Amino acid sequence: MIWAELKKLKRHYLLPLSIGVVVLSSLLALFQLTGAANSVVGYLPLTDGILWNNITLTFPFLITFFGSYLMNREYSEDTLKNNLIVPVSYSKLKFAKIAITVFATFLFIAVSFLCSIVFALVLQYPFNLADIGMAFWKLLVTGISCLIAVMPIIAFFSLKRNLFLAGTCVAFVYGFCGIFVANTHFISWYPTTTGLSIIKYAPNSANYQISVSIFVLAICLFISLFIISVIRRKRDD
């Protein structure tokens, strides 16, 4: 199932378009850093700007759009009935779609990381292996946490045909609200900002509760599995 989904994805514009959005988001972070008055420039501040844009502007809506659109294609191209005629359950089909979404998210993280390296080289920002490792760790953790945070939205808004755009809009607002939560005591409780808490985005902040962040992400995973495994099974019955 997963291999078949990858083959279909290769023939579609969705992945290149999504990568382009990630690159544009990284460029925006670069302009924000270099254009701000009295800003601290460097490789790690650049990476912080990229991951900030990722979790508040880009990843929530992009991951949701990507995952929901993959599922909606089965409706729009009228292939869902054919898939369900053969002995493949809806849950397995959906898990295959989610697996591809996870793969795409790791690709988005890798593109963000490469952008940070390329931009730093062009601007001649000094960095070392420790900085590279730290940057990759931050981008990886915040990217994965963002994926988990939007999984319930993907699962819910792909239950019916053509709801993926509504889910994408919800995810955008969901991520954007993280801007207002990030500097409060709720940063560890708000799903899209849990990654900031785990990596201790602002080292001197006392608002971070890593155990709470992990608990919140676990709840998001549970809700996603509940929607996929229980609600759809009842609908089929």
14-46 in b/e burial notation, b at 16+ Cβ within 10 A? bbeebbebbbebbeebbeebeeeeeeeebbbeb
User: Mean pLDDT, consecutive 10-residue segments, the chain of 237 residues?
Assistant: 62 84 94 80 92 95 91 63 54 77 94 95 92 95 96 88 89 94 91 94 85 96 85 58
Backbone angles phi, psi at 179, to 5 degrees: -60, -40
- In angstroms, the Cα distances linking 154 to 8, 118, 133 are 19, 32, 31
For residue 8, the model assigns a pLDDT of 65
For residue 158, the model assigns a pLDDT of 82
Rounded to 10 degrees, what is the CA torsion of 37, 60, 219, 227? Answer: 170
- In angstroms, the Cα distances linking 131 to 2, 46, 50, 190 are 35, 11, 15, 28
For residue 4, the model assigns a pLDDT of 62
Among candidate residues 127, 103, 129, 144, the one with its CA nearest the CA of residue 46? 127
